[in-house]
Amino acid sequence: MALMTGEQYVESIRRMDIKIFMFGERVSSAVDHPILRPSLNSVKATYDLAHKPEYEDLMTVKSHASGKKINRFCHIHQSTDDLVKKVKMQRLCGQKTAACFQRCVGMDAFNAIFSTSFECDKKHGTAYHKNFLAFLREAQENDWTVDGAMTDPKGDRSLSPGKQADPDLYLRIVERRKDGIVVRGAKAHQTGICNSHQVLVMPTISMGPEDKDYAVAFAVPLDAENLFMIIGRQSCDTRKLEGTTLDVGNSEFGGVEGLTIFDNVFVPNERIFLNGETDFSGMLVERFAGYHRQSYGGCKVGVGDVLVGAAALAADYNGANRASHVKDKLIEMVHLNETLYSSGIACSSEGFRTESGNYLVDLLLANVCKQNVTRFPYEITRLAEDIAGGLMVTAPSEKDLRDPKLGPYVEKYLRGVASVSTENRLRILRLIENLTLGTAAVGYRTESMHGAGSPQAQRIMIARQGNIEQKKQLAKDIARIE
Backbone torsions φ then ψ of 356, nearest 5 degrees: -75, -20
Domain containing 439: what range? 292-470
On whether both 273 and 303 belong to a single domain, the answer is no
Is 299 noted as a catalytic residue in this protein? yes
Complete DSSP assignment for 114-150: HHHHHHHHHHH---HHHHHHHHHHHHHHHT--EEEE-
The answer to whether residues 264 and 341 belong to one domain is: no
What is the CATH number for 234? Answer: 2.40.110.10
Instruction: Give the 3-state secondary structure percentages of the chain, helix then strand then coil, rounded to 5.
Output: 55, 15, 30
Q: Which pTM was predicted?
A: 0.97
Catalytic residue among 74, 93, 104, 347: 104
The residue among 46, 163, 25, 168 whose CA lies nearest residue 97 is: 46
**Which is catalytic among the residues 46, 97, 145, 191?**
191
Of 74, 93, 100, 369, the active-site residue reads: 100
- On whether both 256 and 334 belong to a single domain, the answer is no
Do 266 and 296 belong to one domain? Answer: no
Domain boundary among 245, 277, 309: 277
* Cα–Cα dist 324/418, whole Å: 22
Q: Of 222, 247, 277, which closes a domain?
A: 277
Q: How many structural domains is the chain composed of?
A: 2
User: For this structure, is 104 an active site residue?
Assistant: yes
Residue 27 located in a structural domain = yes
- Side chain identity at residue 66, one-letter code: S
- Residue 87, CB-side half-sphere exposure with 13 Å CA sphere: 28
369 is catalytic: no
Q: Which of 47, 291, 296, 317 is the catalytic position?
A: 296
Q: Which residues partner with 216 through β-bridges?
A: 275
100 among known catalytic residues: yes
CATH number at residue 296: 1.20.140.10
Is 283 part of any domain? no
The torsion angles phi and psi of 21, rounded to 5 degrees, stand at -120, 140
Residues 65 and 195 in one domain: yes
CA atoms within 13 A on the CB side of 380: 35
Q: pLDDT tens per residue, the chain (482 residues)?
A: 689 999 999 999 999 999 999 999 999 888 999 999 999 999 999 999 999 999 999 999 999 999 999 999 999 999 999 999 999 999 999 999 999 999 999 999 999 999 999 999 999 999 999 999 999 999 999 999 999 999 999 999 999 999 999 999 999 999 999 999 999 999 999 999 999 999 999 999 999 999 999 999 999 999 999 999 999 999 999 999 999 999 999 999 999 999 999 999 999 999 999 999 999 999 999 999 999 999 999 999 999 999 999 999 999 999 999 999 999 999 999 999 999 999 999 999 999 999 999 999 999 999 999 999 999 999 999 999 999 999 999 999 999 999 999 999 999 999 999 999 999 999 999 999 999 998 887 789 888 999 999 999 999 999 999 999 999 999 999 999 99
